[in-house]
């Protein structure tokens, strides 16, 4: 309101457009009520217990087992996504083949599919009577109710990250450098390692850290396939939910805060890396 | 014609090798995508329709599942318009004005993308729950937020809040404000500028953001599972109903419910492809 009155536009001649007060008011109210307030509630509940009790809850055996499972499964899932993502980005950018556009669109399915649907489908596929389980279980490979199930559920839900971060960078990279290297006698793999990989590395790392952060927090897909045995296949976010159901609000808040801090640190680090890579790119041009 | 002769064996080998590696990589990409994405997708419909159309229809028309469909649609009908309005307001604010704390506000708006939905749900329980920050006040005023529609709507709003803004903001920034400033200078009111200039410019991005927002709202599981209380036939949305049927070992029913959500996800993907070509 004030910004659009004549006096205000004299003081701030740049604000010709109306709606500053209105949109500012709407945005702040909404962000305050919907986003900020609940997060403050979490931080307050977590801080309420004090640093000593916080550490005690965070390092209780069951919490540690859940965190260890979550982090190791998320790490394995990220490796899977890294390999698949690099392959897909390379194939989609550098080669032409029938069905390429369809394949490109298919990659987004894990993001579009609700996580509960993904969890249901994967657990049924890998169960003893499912299409995959029927092949794997006679070989002695059990996926459902094991860490492998957790890993596969996490990997499925974060498949698109690496593809979608590496793909645009690869598109910008002129293939003539690799061709030059090949002309100079470099083997295809050497050309890839020395020329392509350094260029896509920052985007690759960003994609991997996004996959990792998403895997740490994945719930819907995992609870269906994990079996959720305490100390064995119980992920950290599920333990937080169990604490809530026991009315142990502080316990839940501590676990949730630990996960939140882990994810935010990871994303901040990847943002920093991305910013540095951009600056580097800017200098070269 | 005799040119192949002087070439050394390594040179004649090179093109063959050059074709082999791409073929292997393409084959690997197709095979892994088949196993990771296509077969799971096909499996949903296979299991949903394994017992035929009649069984599928019976599973969907089961009263609790039908109620879950209705509740899910209702939540989306509330959430999507609110987030469209918020997305436009926030994008307009960030794209058109410079003010202190602009960067911080932008980070804050994007936070729901970095917080896992389950943690969002926990946040809401710690705020509105009986032992939560506002719990005593709510109880004193006899207001029911958790384990009821308001709680489900609030968490879904949180989880889907950045979608519209994220699509609209880059477009507004790229287009600049020249047209809008010209309209203002010519005497148009704020509402006229928005309806005649801004809205036509951003309509496709807005539509795409709304589609993403709807798809996410309909499929939200983790956050909603915490605040809804999963009361059968009352506060169960479709994704929660899938879990309930799965735990009841009614796998056919679970897949029937899952197939409807999958169909919505596929429609959203098709819309994405179409809209991207349009822009």
Q: Which of A2 and A70 is assigned the larger pLDDT?
A: A70
Q: What residues contact residue A2 under an 8 Å CB cut-off, 6+ apart?
A: A8, A21
**Cβ contact, residue pair B21, A188, below 8 Å:** yes
pLDDT interval class at B215 (50, 70, 90): very high
- Looking from the CA of B216 toward its CB, the CA atoms found within 13 Å total 25
SS3 at position A268: helix
**Cβ contact, residue pair A26, B89, below 8 Å:** yes
Residues of the domain holding B16: 1-48
Q: Where are the domains of chain A?
A: 1-48, 51-284
Q: Do residues B99 and B120 make contact, with C-beta atoms less than 8 angstroms apart?
A: no
Catalogue the E-assigned strands of chain A.
none
Select from A24, A97, A103 the Cβ nearest to the Cβ of B93: A24
Same domain flag for B9 and B123: no
Closest chain B C-alpha to A23 CA, distance in angstroms: 5
SS3 at position A175: coil
**Cβ contact, residue pair A124, B215, below 8 Å:** no
pLDDT of amino acid B7: 39
- In tens, the pLDDT along A249-259 reads 899 999 999 99
Same domain flag for B135 and B56: yes
Same domain flag for B176 and B218: yes
Same domain flag for B72 and B110: yes
B65 CA to centre of own chain: 22
The one-character DSSP state at A219 is -
Same domain flag for B236 and B138: yes
Among A247, A38, A238, which residue's Cα sits nearest to residue B225? A238
Whether the pLDDT of residue A8 is over 60: the answer is no
Closest chain B C-alpha to A142 CA, distance in angstroms: 17
Q: What is the CATH number of domain A51-284?
A: 1.10.3720.10
pLDDT of amino acid A180: 84
B43 touches chain A (CB under 8 A): yes
Residues of chain A with pLDDT > 90: what percent? Answer: 71
Per the structure, the count of domains in chain B is 2
Same domain flag for B127 and B31: no
Same domain flag for B186 and B119: yes
Averaged pLDDT for residues B81-101: 95
The one-character DSSP state at A59 is T
Same domain flag for B151 and B13: no
Same domain flag for B124 and B258: yes
Runs of H (alpha helix) within chain B: 9-33, 39-48, 52-60, 63-96, 102-114, 117-128, 135-140, 149-160, 162-175, 178-185, 190-193, 199-219, 222-228, 238-247, 251-278
pLDDT interval class at B229 (50, 70, 90): confident
Residue A230 CA to residue B137 CA, distance in Å, equals: 35
Same domain flag for B9 and B59: no
């Amino acid at each position: 309101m004030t910004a659009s009155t004549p006096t205000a536009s004299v003081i701030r001649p740049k604000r010709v457009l109306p709606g500053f007060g209105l949109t500012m008011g709407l945005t702040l109210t909404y962000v305050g009520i919907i986003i900020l307030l609940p997060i403050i509630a979490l931080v307050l509940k977590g801080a309420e217990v004090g640093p000593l009790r916080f550490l005690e809850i965070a390092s209780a055996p069951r919490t540690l087992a859940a965190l260890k499972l979550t982090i190791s499964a998320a790490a394995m899932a990220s490796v899977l996504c890294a390999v698949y993502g690099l392959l897909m980005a390379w194939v989609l950018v550098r080669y032409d083949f029938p069905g390429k556009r369809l394949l490109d669109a298919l990659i987004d399915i894990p993001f579009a599919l609700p996580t509960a649907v993904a969890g249901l489908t994967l657990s049924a596929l890998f169960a003893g009577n499912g299409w995959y389980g029927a092949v794997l279980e006679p070989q002695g490979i059990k996926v459902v109710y094991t860490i492998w199930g957790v890993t596969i559920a996490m990997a499925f839900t974060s498949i698109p990250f690496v593809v979608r971060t590496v793909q645009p960078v690869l598109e910008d990279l002129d293939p003539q450098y690799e061709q030059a290297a090949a002309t100079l006698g470099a083997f295809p793999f050497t050309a890839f390692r020395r020329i392509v990989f350094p260029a896509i590395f920052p985007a690759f790392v960003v994609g991997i850290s996004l996959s990792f952060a998403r895997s740490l927090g994945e719930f819907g897909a995992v609870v269906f396939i994990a079996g959720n045995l305490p100390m064995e296949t119980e992920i950290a976010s599920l333990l937080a939910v169990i604490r809530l159901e026991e009315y142990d609000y502080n316990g839940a808040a501590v676990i949730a805060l630990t996960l939140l801090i882990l994810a935010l640190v990871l994303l901040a680090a990847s943002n920093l890396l991305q910013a540095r890579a951009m600056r580097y790119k800017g200098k070269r041009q | 014609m005799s040119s192949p002769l002087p070439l050394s064996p390594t040179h004649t080998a090179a093109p063959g090798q050059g074709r082999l590696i791409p073929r292997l990589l393409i084959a690997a990409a197709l095979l892994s995508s088949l196993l990771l994405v296509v077969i799971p997708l096909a499996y949903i419909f296979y299991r949903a329709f394994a017992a035929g159309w009649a069984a599928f229809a019976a599973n969907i028309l089961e009263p609790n599942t039908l109620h879950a469909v209705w509740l899910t649609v209702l939540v989306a009908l509330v959430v999507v318009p609110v987030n469209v309005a918020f997305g436009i307001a926030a994008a307009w604010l960030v794209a058109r004005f410079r003010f202190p704390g602009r960067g911080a506000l932008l980070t804050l708006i994007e936070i729901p993308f970095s917080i896992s939905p389950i943690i969002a749900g926990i946040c809401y329980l710690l705020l509105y729950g009986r032992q939560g920050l506002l719990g005593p006040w709510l109880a004193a005023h006899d207001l029911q937020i958790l384990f009821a529609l308001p709680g489900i709507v609030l968490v879904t709003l949180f989880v889907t809040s950045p979608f519209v803004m994220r699509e609209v903001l880059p477009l507004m920034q790229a287009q600049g404000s020249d047209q809008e400033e010209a309209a203002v200078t010519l005497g148009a009111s704020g509402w006229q500028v928005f309806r005649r200039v801004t809205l036509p410019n951003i309509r496709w991005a807005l539509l795409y953001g709304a589609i993403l927002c709807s798809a996410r709202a309909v499929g939200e599981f983790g956050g909603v599972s915490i605040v809804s209380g999963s009361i059968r036939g009352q506060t169960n949305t479709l994704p929660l109903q899938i879990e309930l049927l799965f735990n009841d070992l009614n796998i056919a029913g679970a897949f029937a419910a899952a197939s409807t959500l999958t169909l919505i996800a596929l429609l959203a993907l098709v819309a994405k492809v179409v809209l991207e070509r349009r822009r």
